Amino acid sequence: MESAGDEGAKEVGAARRLASWYFSNNDCNQAVIAGLKDLYVSRIVREMREQGIEQVQARHQLRLDFVLSAEDRIELSSEGVDEWLSRSVAGSSLPETMAALLEAVRGQYNSAGAVADYIAADPTLAAMVLKLVNSSFYRFPRPINSLANAITIIGRRQLRLMAIGITVMSFCRHISEELLDMKAFWMHSIGCGVICKNMMQGVEGADAEHLYLAGLLHDIGHLFMLQEKPALVRAAMRLSETEDCPFHEAEQVIFGFDHCELGSRLMSLWNFPPFLIESVRRHHDQQGDNTETCIVHVADAVAHAAFPGNSGSLRLPRLATKKWERFRLDQQEMERIVRKSVPQFQDLMGIFI
């Protein structure tokens, strides 16, 4: 009969084997990788204790087996991103509420009442906005019971961007889950957004709410690839695994472009704010870049390690040492940010998923 200590050692050993595979295509600073591995192992051990070792291992293996099973007959995409967008994605009409909110962001309307009216026109959106404002994400000392009060406290622009994020999540839910569990996708996206916010909380000149939205929407292009061409996405996942190359590079081979370019072009068509377009377009780049893009890159990796969910890639996206070095984010600081993020992540999961 195994003791609790034996069982615990078994869980840790199994989690470390999964971590070795999950991080195997990264040659970033080894102290960074070690810190992320520890976050990942801690999370997987918790899952194993809640669900059982065999179930957690089986879930990972089933996904890998599905992706690597007998190849479908694939013809590589011959369309450029412009043709692809004009044929399929550009035809997706925005919800009326989101179109109005984006127009308000561009126009910098002065009327707080007009912003409240846009949001109040969609009762579900209004309710979710108020839940978010009253969550641990903001930690206000007393309840906020009206949109007008929310605008007074957090500002019109922040509230508009918050409502846009909520609307995009609702708009992008109706996608086949054959290759990607949509709950898992939004879990990862929420985790990335929360890490972005907490990395820059209190940093002079940083807008934490804007960064949350950038993290939340950084993989939006992947959803439209899944919606339009799931067989090609599966081919890219297979190529990434068999050739040990980053998923976005495999997308470039299969599609001729990646989810970063598609997502940013989609946001341009929809007239999203420039900072969001740029952070989506460059979040997998290896070279140093503007602060917002670097934050999303780092937060993406921390969220993959520390929180459940995934973005579609079978392994941790390849990390850029230059982007990590901008923040001097050692293991102790990563763990502090994750601890601060956990209750916010749990609150947002309760609101959105």
Q: Who's near 28: CB < 8 A, 6+ residues apart?
A: 318, 319, 320, 321, 324
146 assigned to some structural domain: no
pLDDT, residue 107, reads 58
301 domain residue, yes or no: yes
Number of domains into which the chain is organized:
1
Q: Which of 1-15, 99-113, 280-294 has the lowest mean pLDDT?
A: 99-113
Q: How confident is the model at residue 352 (pLDDT cuts 50, 70, 90)?
A: confident
Half-sphere exposure of 16 (CA within 13 A, CB side): 8
pLDDT at 106 over 70: no
Contact 353, 186 (CB under 8 A): yes
Residues in the chain: 353
37 lies in some domain: yes
Residue 342 lies in a domain: yes
Residue 115 in this model has a pLDDT that exceeds 60 = yes
**276's tokens:** 């969001």
- Amino acid identity of residue 127, one-letter, is A
Three-point CA angle 225, 309, 335, nearest 5°: 130
Residue 214 has pLDDT above 50, yes or no: yes
Segments forming the whole domain that contains residue 314: 24-57+75-93+182-352
* Mean pLDDT, rounded, for 318-345: 86
pLDDT attached to residue 205:
58
Within a domain: residue 327?
Answer: yes
Q: Residues 214-228: what's their mean pLDDT? A: 86
Q: Is residue 223 part of a domain?
A: yes
| Least confidently predicted of 128-132, 234-238, 317-321 | 128-132
Mean per-residue pLDDT, 209-218:
85
| pLDDT digits 0-9 by tens, 159-189 | 766 777 777 776 666 666 777 788 888 899 9
Return the higher-pLDDT residue of 112 and 228.
Answer: 228
- 288 or 187: whose pLDDT is higher? 187
Name residue 103's amino acid: E
- Residue 328 CB-density burial (10 A; 0-12 exposed, 13-18 middle, 19+ buried): exposed
Average per-residue pLDDT for the chain: 79
Per-residue pLDDT, averaged over 202-218, amounts to 76
Are residues 315 and 169 in contact, defined by beta-carbon separation less than 8 angstroms? no
Q: Is the pLDDT of residue 108 over 50?
A: yes
Domain CATH code at residue 88: 1.10.3210
Summarised one tens digit per residue, pLDDT across range 307-318 is: 988 888 888 888
- Residue 306 lies inside a defined structural domain of this protein: yes
User: Which DSSP category does 324 fall into?
Assistant: H
Q: What is the pLDDT of residues 48-79, one digit of tens each?
A: 999 998 888 888 887 777 777 756 555 556 66
Give me the mean pLDDT over the 239-254 stretch: 84
Alpha carbon 136 to its chain's center:
19
Give the CA diameter of the chain: 70
pLDDT at 1 (0 to 100): 44
